[in-house]
Amino acid sequence: MRKIHDISQPLRPGIPVWPGDRAFEAAWTWRKADGASCNVGHVTMSCHAGTHMDAPYHFADIGATAETIPLEACVGPATVVRLDRLDGVRAERVLIRSGGGVPTVEAVERLRGLKLLGTDGASVDVADSKTLDVHHALARRGVVILEGLDLSAVADGTYQLIALPLRLVGMDGSPVRAVLIEP
């Protein structure tokens, strides 16, 4: 059996969120220990907590929302690469080991045939960006944006990616459970 790597951040209270965004919270609605017939939990969180996809509506008022993210972009061969080795990559899905950096608009525009761009960073743009140029450059090409990956346990190389967003109607993004499967 091929090895499967979970590249999602664990969602738990205290997980870092964008400054000013809603913190992740988890609690119990019912508990068997309190006499209920079953345990039922609930969560409150930002659509951008942990590993997530940005829908174009996140950065454009007339952009598509989370339920329209093309699923065919979210499943298939993916290349994991360091940011400083991004030039020359030829893949439909590219996952960047950012080292704290972000790709430039010029770098992402050189990625031909791209369907999905992921990063282990919190964003594909610099934290203080007001224009989100990389987000817009990717959206113009119909490229799905996957952020907040945990690539610490995988080597650079090619894998099968499965990273499906929730079908959150009208929302600007979605949490994702992302996995890489070794060839």
d(CA 152, CA 97): 9
- Backbone angles phi and psi of 50, in degrees to 5: 60, -145
Helices (H), ranges, 83-150: 105-109, 133-140
Q: Which listed residue (5, 48, 52, 58) is catalytic?
A: 58
What distance in Å separates the CA atoms of residue 26 and residue 7, rounded to the nearest whole number? Answer: 21
| Angstrom distance (rounded) from CA 77 to CA 87 | 18
Q: 58 an active-site residue?
A: yes
Question: Of 50, 45, 64, whose CA–CA distance to 135 is shortest?
Answer: 64
Q: How many C-beta neighbours within 10 Å does residue 128 have?
A: 5
Whether 77 and 92 have beta carbons less than 8 Å apart is answered as: yes
Identify the three-state secondary structure at position 134.
helix
Which residues does the annotation mark as catalytic?
A: 58
